[in-house]
Structure 1
Amino acid sequence: MPEMGKSGRFAVDEGRLDVLSRAVEADIARQAYDGMAIGILHEGRVVMQRHFGFAEREADRSLGEGDVFSVMSFTKVMTALAIFRALERGDLSLGTRIAEVIPEFAAAGKQRVTVAQLLSHTGGMPFTLPGLTEEIEGDLRRTVELACRIAPVNRPGEVVSYSAQVSYDVLGVVAERVDPAGRRFGRIIEEDIFAPLGMTDSAIGMPERLRRRRVPVVARNPTEMNLRLAARDRRITAETELPGGGGFSTLADMLRFAAMLASGGALEGASIVSPASLALATANHTGELPNNTLAAQREMRGWEPFPAWLGLGFFLRGTGLFPTPFGHLASPRTFGSIGAGSMVMWVDPERSLSAVLLSSGLMDQVDSHLRFQRLSDIIHSALRLAP
């Protein structure tokens, strides 16, 4: 990675980064969450890389440089990139029907669901998988066998309804079945993404080599979903494969991943996807449709409906004033990912600014979005015209 510094038509105001540090320290002091790792890139240079607070508050264990986070739904971006790599090999297209690759998926009215629809959460898949047990979760092939039997909850292609796990589990098996070497999902991600990018402290599942540095998932806000995520985290092993949320990584590794995205799909000679693929993946594929999954929260908080702004594996900033963890000050082309109640990663290509924020201590999902909106706006405001 390049050394810390400044370059380009904007310069980073270090005083604004001090404001960011104080805001995070105040949040941790009032126990909104337990700790946070923050990395910021500008023009390819690291301008901030800091760890605050606790990896485990109850154990008085400070958060440090080598600590390994469950990166939750950041894993979806990795899965999406595996699908785009298959597209670039000519093994499928975005219009490929899932049933062409997984014939058993055609059951119960899913015969027309496409790769693009699963990537953009418009394939009619549920938020969680009915009938999924602790015994099955993490066993990718058994999970997808169950997913093949369910009916869509919405007419495919007509509703944006975020699928926390199901859509991307299915895409993980699609990646396996079209892989020329017949590799398992975890190995595809390890060999095609982590290894080329030098992400040596990243994995799908939790291998023994990383276990000692693991940041446990703790439900600081004990919602039903957060408690379920914390319980799932305790069960994850080296063999667990969750294409929608089973990756692990450090801040340093995720900064390398973000740098690759900011550079158009390549880093230091390692090409993960083409600029053409990344441009398509980070375009708006849901139009003006709202994210149906947020309907209850919108109603409860008195918010008007707003567009989902989803790409193919990515969330987008888009235009308009609505809650966004990328910050209101982000340029419309900003894209990235959000991890359940705990993290955000974004790339603002217009300003050559990127950020990775990983926290310990799960918050309520929407409260977490608003937390990151506030922190992201501080980051965006740190850019000033270079003298």
Structure 2
Amino acid sequence: MTSDVADDLYDGGVVLVARDGEIGLHEAVGYSDRSTGRLAATNDVFWIFSTTKQFTNVLVLKAFEQGLLSPITKVVDVVPEFRGSDRFRVGAKDRVSVADLMTHRAGTSPTPWPLPPMECADLSRTITAIGEMDLVAPPGERVSYSPCLAHALLGEIVVRTLGKGRSFTQTLHDELLDPLGMTDTRMGAPKDWSDRLVPVVAKFPPGQFFSPQDIIDTASAAHEGAELPWVGCVSTAADLFRFAEMLRRGGELGGERILSPASIAMATTVQTGDLINERYNRIVAEKHWQPWRASIGLGFMMRGTGLRQTFFGTMSSPGTFGGYGAGSSQFFVDPERELTFVCLTAGVLGEAENLHRFQTLSDMTVAAAN
């Protein structure tokens, strides 16, 4: 990481590695803000982008456990607005299940914004806009990573089931953040944390799936008071470690049970078979990689089998699971080795560079743990 920062690949970051719950490494490297010379600190707060989705997934799993819905519940049975206002454009939306959303098989549009970014702070408006959008693929048949729509819908499903009259943000705090003691995690960046927030800087040129402006817009949209269950959280490496440790320990941490072992077993079993993740077809072709096997559990990204490109490294066990976000953040748990890895970085990389960076760091971590 020090070498990468010296080469200006990215600006800095915080890395945390633990074995069987014992932290062996928790270090800040490089800069939080290279432009001002602000050095990285272990308590830096980062926009974690799509790593947010893993928090939303856990809330959905909690709703399963309470009998409020199931993986095979149809989305329209909970959010009828998903059909849209034009009955002639419903198409296959009635077939989309909660599991389809969690495994990115719903056939929703790959757009990161169903509304202009700053208008997405209101989750109800986002859901209304999604209802007016057509599916772009048959549900359940293909995997195409959904940057926004799937987890916006899952967030609304949480509100209408587990929420029981609470907002998504309040539900997130009551059911997950507060019980785990994740005091440095918020949905939307608090204004009074400005001295700890790591600025979002794009370290890649235009022409990729996301543009540099998309990344900046995402951080701007995730402001205090915004509700973006797909991309809106800020957090620290230590807080994300607490979340990952809860998962590694079968759903419990510090005497607080968040999930049952049965839920985590279901969520960390590959549900997508041999399907490829079509969202990455372009980069696969450009880099001459093997087809990008999806390897998605019920919400969590999985290492899977075989030697191929993977964020979690080539040496981690097949059951390794975790999440990642927009060229800058990642965590994983290797249950076979009882190994937990968290890395949050300053300076958002392009997709290929980010995958190579985290694949390399993951392999180095697994090798060190052995």
Q: 1:43 to 1:131 in 2, by over 3 A?
A: closer
Residue 191 in 1 paired to residue 174 in 2? yes
Residue 311 in 1 paired to residue 294 in 2? no
Q: 1:129 to 1:48 in 2, by over 3 A?
A: closer
Distance 2:189 2:113 in 1: 25
Q: Greater shift after overlay, 111-120 or 235-244?
A: 235-244
Aligned to 1:60: 37
Structure 1 segments of 4 or more deviating over 4 A? none
SS at 1:51's partner residue?
strand
Distance 1:287 1:383 in 2: 29
Distance 1:128 1:52 in 2: 33
1:327 to 286, 297, 313: 313
Cα offset, 1:129, TM superposition: 5.3
Segments of 5+ residues of structure 2 without an aligned counterpart are 85-89
* Percent identical: 39
Give the letter for the 2:288 counterpart. G
Distance 2:211 2:264 in 1: 31
2:53 to 57, 76, 79: 76
SS at 1:137's partner residue?
helix
SS at 1:73's partner residue?
helix
TM (normalized to structure 2)? Answer: 0.95
Cα offset, 1:73, TM superposition: 1.1
Aligned to 1:21: none
Distance 1:60 1:151 in 2: 47
Cα offset, 1:239, TM superposition: 1.0
1:257 to 230, 243, 261: 243
Aligned to 1:381: 367
Distance 1:146 1:299 in 2: 33
Aligned to 2:26: 49
Aligned to 1:32: 9
Cα offset, 1:211, TM superposition: 2.7
Distance 1:35 1:238 in 2: 25
Give the letter for the 2:284 counterpart. R
Residue 244 in 1 paired to residue 230 in 2? yes
Distance 1:262 1:312 in 2: 16
Q: Greater shift after overlay, 121-130 or 166-175?
A: 121-130
Q: 1:150 to 1:129 in 2, by over 3 A?
A: farther
TM (normalized to structure 1)? Answer: 0.91
Q: Deviations over 1:31-52 (max 9, x none)?
A: 0000011000101111100000
Segments of 5+ residues of structure 1 without an aligned counterpart are 1-23
Q: CA RMSD in A?
A: 1.3
1:267 to 233, 253, 256: 253
1:99 to 50, 70, 76: 76
Contact 1:309-1:316 within 8 A present in 2 as well = yes
SS at 1:382's partner residue?
helix
Distance 1:318 1:360 in 2: 28
Contact 1:341-1:366 within 8 A present in 2 as well = no
Give the letter for the 1:238 counterpart. E
2:274 to 278, 283, 288: 288
Residue 354 in 1 paired to residue 344 in 2? no
Aligned length: 361
Q: Deviations over 1:172-197 (max 9, x none)?
A: 00100113531111111111111011
Distance 2:355 2:324 in 1: 8
Distance 2:34 2:295 in 1: 35
